[in-house]
Chains A and B, each alone.
Chain A
Amino acid sequence: MAILLRSEIETLLAPLSDNSGLYDLVKEPLSKVMQDLVAGAARDRAWFFLPLIICDVICGRCEHAIPTCAGIELLKAAAGVFDDIEDTDSAESLPSKYGIPLALNTANILLILAERAFTRLKKQGVDSDIVVNIIDTVNSYCVTACIGQHLDLSLASEEFTLEDVYLRVIAMKSASTVECACYSGALLAEANQELIKSFTIFGHNLGMASQIANDIKGIRHLSDIKKHKITLPTIYALAQTDGETHRLLEAVFCKRPYGFLPTPDRIRDLLFSTGAIQYATIKMELYKQQALNTLFELERAGVKVDQLKQFLQ
């Protein structure tokens, strides 16, 4: 499957190969997934195969879903480049290395190639109605992700410090892409509405757990503290502290006036001491537990979900 997916992506990129500059630019955001496909990382945690695995556990075959995996990978790569343009915080990013115009063009090409990937489902013998349904579903999830991204970029820090608001935003901008992969896999297996719904819930919970894990890493490795980025651990700490600790956290994350600010590692220690990381880790486990509950329900309905349990181990 790794070889087939790699080959599918190479086929989609082939029209660009005459222009080596553009070809190399487009391949850069895809390099991690291409390396993983070559290295066989998929055997351990085959996240880019999520639509395939879901299709397989439902109907016992999945090769016809390969273009969907390729399409979703291309969309994720495009979103990554757009993110880098919006954030401008990494010297290694495409806009930092080559400038915003070239990065924008690259992201646009990746989007178009993703659309082409989905139309290639027809070549795999997938019924036209299902192909249209997949394209419509993916586009609808992309709109949701863009709304989430808009809220992330535009909400004032006061609104963002409410946990419910934060969870709603990450559900839209992050978890929706995992939901999309799961939904598409179930659709390609021609599953009934009940099964599609169950796999969508599984994808939502998996995506939420993954985003919160990323939030914890952002504090642990200081990157989100340096960027003054409000994530779940910070929201907990802001809600549960008072006095000097609260004022200090507000100064760092809500840019309130304060005297001399401590170093980022001191802020990290402070967040740990409030229980913020413990709380976020429990929330991550909670979403994983809810994803596991869905798998148990599917198991009771006769679906063999062992391949999916690896995502929760």
Chain B
Amino acid sequence: MKSQALQELVKKIFSDEKIKSQFMTNPDSILSQFSLTEDERKAVLKTHARLGQMASDSVLLDTAIEPNIWWT
């Protein structure tokens, strides 16, 4: 299902340096401004804890996604 609040959250973080820096230091303070489901909140925090803000040369990203590509 499409996640409107999730899209808005990610857009906000990536388009506003102040929000981004606040999210990096205190993610909960930003997450509380969006009506995310509990599962969406967990997914955001898990991604943030493991990968932070990703760049295209992120080796961590490969490590995180590769184990999930086991069926396709």
Which residues of A pack against B, CB within 8 Å? 45, 47, 163-164, 167, 174, 177-178, 206-207, 209-211, 213-214, 216-217, 220, 236, 239-240, 265, 268-269, 271-275, 277-279, 281-286, 288-290, 293, 311, 313
Contacts and interface: CB of A to CB of B under 8 A. Distances in A.
Interface residues of B, number: 32
A217 B69 CA distance: 9
Contact of A214 (B42, B53, B69): B69
A285 B2 contact: no
Interface string B32-72: 00000001101110110001011110000110111111111
A217 B67 CA distance: 11
Contacts of B40: 282, 286
Contacts of A286: 3, 6, 39-40, 43
Q: Which residue of B3, B13, B62, B68 has the most chain A CB atoms within 10 A of its CB atom? A: B68
24 contacts: A47-B70, A167-B1, A174-B71, A178-B71, A211-B72, A213-B66, A216-B65, A217-B62, A220-B62, A220-B65, A236-B7, A272-B55, A275-B13, A275-B14, A277-B61, A279-B7, A281-B47, A281-B64, A283-B3, A283-B6, A284-B65, A285-B46, A286-B39, A288-B68
Contacts of A174: 71-72
A278 B68 contact: no
Given A220-B61, A236-B7, A284 B68 contact: yes
Given A167-B2, A240-B7, A289-B39, A47 B71 contact: yes
Closest 3 CB pairs of A and B: A275-B14, A213-B68, A285-B43
A220 B47 contact: no
Given A167-B1, A217-B69, A269-B56, A278 B14 contact: yes
Given A275-B14, A286-B40, 16 more contacts: A45-B70, A47-B71, A210-B70, A210-B71, A213-B69, A220-B61, A271-B56, A278-B14, A279-B7, A282-B40, A282-B43, A285-B44, A286-B6, A289-B42, A290-B39, A293-B39
Interface of B: 1-3, 6-7, 10-11, 13-14, 39-40, 42-44, 46-47, 51, 53-56, 61-62, 64-72
Nearest to B6: A282
A211 B68 CA distance: 8
Classify the interface of chain A: helix, strand, loop or mixed.
helix
Contacts of A163: 2
Nearest to A287: B43
B7 A239 contact: yes
Contacts of A274: 14
Contacts of B54: 272, 277-278, 281
B24 to A, nearest CB: 12
B67 to A, nearest CB: 7
Nearest to A236: B7
Contact of A210 (B6, B42, B72): B72
Given A220-B62, A265-B56, A277-B61, A282 B44 contact: yes
Contacts of A311: 70
B67 A45 contact: yes
A290 B46 CA distance: 13
A164 B46 CA distance: 24
A273 B71 contact: no
Nearest to A214: B72
Nearest to B44: A282
B1 A281 contact: no
Contacts of B43: 282-283, 285-286, 288-289
